[in-house]
Amino acid sequence: MTDFDPKMLEALICPQTGGPLSFDAEKQELVSKSAHLAYPIRDGIPIMLASEARDIDD
């Protein structure tokens, strides 16, 4: 597990849509339902690049 602070979600938005993100603690990802992408968190740092995100299905 990393030391990601879920309170950081208040300041972060999806770089693709500008929509909200949710935190998936199990997978250590920030999920954008509107963009259907999950952004990885590495060493407590969210990687907010579309090229690093994985596609997700609803």
CATH label of the domain that carries residue 49: 2.20.25.10
Boundaries of domain holding 43: 6-55
Residue 53 CB neighbours (<10 A): 22
What is the number of structural domains in the chain?
1
Q: Look at residue 1 and tell me if it is in a domain.
A: no
Nearest-CA neighbor of 16 among 51, 57, 58?
51
Q: Look at residue 32 and tell me if it is in a domain.
A: yes
Digit-coded pLDDT (tens) for 6-55: 788 889 999 999 999 999 999 999 999 999 999 999 998 999 999 999 99
Task: Report pLDDT for 9.
Answer: 86
